[in-house]
Amino acid sequence: MPDQLKLHNLQVQYGDVVAIRDVSLSLQTGDIGCLLGPSGCGKTSLLRAIAGFEVITAGTIAIKDKLIASDMINIPAEHRNIGMVFQDFALFPHLTVEHNVAFGLRHLTAAEQRDRIQEMLALVGLPDVGTKFPHEISGGQQQRVALARALAPKPQLLLLDEPFSGLDEAQRTSLASEIRLLLKAQHVTALLVTHDQHEAFEMADHIALMNEGQVVQAGTGESLYQSPASPFAAKFIGEGSLTKVISSADGPPGVLQQLLNGANQLTTSIEYHVLLRPEHLVYDPSGVPLTIIQRHYRGSHYLYELSLDDGQILRCATELTIECDRGEPLPVRLTEKDLIVFR
């Protein structure tokens, strides 16, 4: 089966600035992919290049083995049959919801259009808002209408540009999982752009982590979290601290060495970094005492920020019964033996 979307050595350049460098990715039919990265990493440029709003300077974009962009070909956006949900939804303010959804359905007869509109609005759970104007419905509803509009012409690929950033926290999570179910049920191939890892985990089958115009690591959410391939991935995903370790044979072992004692470090370097996530540390009265510099109440647990003797900070989650104040020591122990180490 051909890939629904295939990017090969893609490059996008604005003048002298290279926004996308050498990106190769592919997405199987029915899969949901995600471009994750900090702002300015080029993920939106990449999405817009696929949609046809940016001209690529090298490489190829193909949909079902058909080339839609290369250094020679540039099929205009309106002929790519790629749907897009915009960050600001971009609903046409002067058209009703129905007419917004109908905008991409010109090739259908009036009756077919009506059916398709009804079908799409029912799909996104808004069968009754058809005659309203965009400004008369809520932000979450606008988001669904934008989705219905993009899906109505049955695109070969759906692009979502930070689709939840305009919504509040509560809407965000519920809508993300709801939309994932919907896209899966419709066998839609989709590519999402976000800077929010939780959104990426919630929505996507595959995540491509981007930094400075390049894909630095691609894989499932689990693999990105559990085996980050670079210090950047380790720092960007999860709440871990990349902690610097200086091992020396002489002198008494520092607090960190005591803590790491027994971990499977497998390194002969004098100086290296180790990734310590909050779940790697547990409270243990007989553990290594670390000074508390901040305590965050998280409802179900406390998150303590702990200071090493050289000023580096570690995080540790505890039950609410373990209640210590700033400046007091909190004894902790390492639970994970297989730590991620960067030299």
Partner 1 sequence: MAWRVGLVLTALTVALPVLVIGSSLLAPYSPTWTHILDTVLVGYLINSLALMLGVGTGTLLLGVVTAWLCATCEFTGRKLLSWGLLLPMALPAYIIAYTYTGLLDFSGPVQSSLRGWFNWSYGDYFFPEIRSLGGAICMLSLVLYPYIYLIARVAFTNQSGAALEAARSLGVGRWRTFFRVALPMARPAIVAGLSLALMETLADYGTVDYFGVSTFTTGIFRTWYGLGELRTAAQLAGFLLLFVFVLMAIERASRNRMQFHATATRSAIQRITLRGTHAALATGFCVLIVTLGFLLPAMQLLSWASISWRTAVDSQFLYLLWNSLSLALFASFICLVLALFFGYGKRRYPGATQTGAVRIASMGYAVPGTVIAVGVLIPFGTLDNQLDTLSQTLFGVSTGLLLSGTLVALVFAYVVRFLSVSLQTVESGLSRIKPSLDEAARSLGSSNKRALREIHLPLLRGSLLTALLLVFVDVLKELPTTLILRPFNFNTLAVRTFELASDERLADAALPALAIVIIGLLPVILLMRNLDRGPSSHA
Q: Which of 150, 167, 256, 292 binds partner 1 (CB under 8 A)?
A: 150
Closer residue to partner 1 in complex, CB, 93/299? 93
Taking CB under 8 A as the rule, does residue 341 contact partner 1? no
Q: Measured between alpha carbons, how far is 219 from 181 in angstroms, rounded to an integer? A: 20
Q: Smallest gap, in angstroms, from Cβ of residue 28 to partner 1?
A: 22
Q: Smallest gap, in angstroms, from Cβ of residue 159 to partner 1?
A: 8
Q: Count of residues binding partner 1 (CB under 8 A)? A: 29
Taking CB under 8 A as the rule, does residue 263 contact partner 1? no
Q: Give the Cβ contact number of residue 219 at 10 Å.
A: 17
Closer residue to partner 1 in complex, CB, 149/315? 149
Taking CB under 8 A as the rule, does residue 106 contact partner 1? yes
Closer residue to partner 1 in complex, CB, 154/298? 154
Q: Smallest gap, in angstroms, from Cβ of residue 2 to partner 1?
A: 22
Closer residue to partner 1 in complex, CB, 150/200? 150
Q: Smallest gap, in angstroms, from Cβ of residue 53 to partner 1?
A: 6
Q: Please list every residue from 64 through 93 that binds partner 1, using CB under 8 A.
A: 76-84, 86-88, 90-93
Structure tokens at 204: 């996507």
Closer residue to partner 1 in complex, CB, 96/226? 96
Q: Are 82 and 52 in contact (CB under 8 A)?
A: yes
Q: Smallest gap, in angstroms, from Cβ of residue 77 to partner 1?
A: 4
Closer residue to partner 1 in complex, CB, 86/272? 86
Q: Please list every residue from 125 through 144 that binds partner 1, using CB under 8 A.
A: 133, 135
Closer residue to partner 1 in complex, CB, 66/296? 66
Q: Smallest gap, in angstroms, from Cβ of residue 64 to partner 1?
A: 18
Taking CB under 8 A as the rule, does residue 103 contact partner 1? yes
Q: Measured between alpha carbons, how far is 120 from 286 in angstroms, rounded to an integer? A: 60
**Size (the chain), residues:** 343
What φ, ψ does residue 139 adopt, rounded to 5°?
-60, -45
Q: Smallest gap, in angstroms, from Cβ of residue 43 to partner 1?
A: 17
Closer residue to partner 1 in complex, CB, 52/240? 52
Q: Which residues bind partner 1 (CB under 8 A)?
A: 51-53, 76-84, 86-88, 90-94, 103-104, 106, 133, 135, 149-150, 153, 159
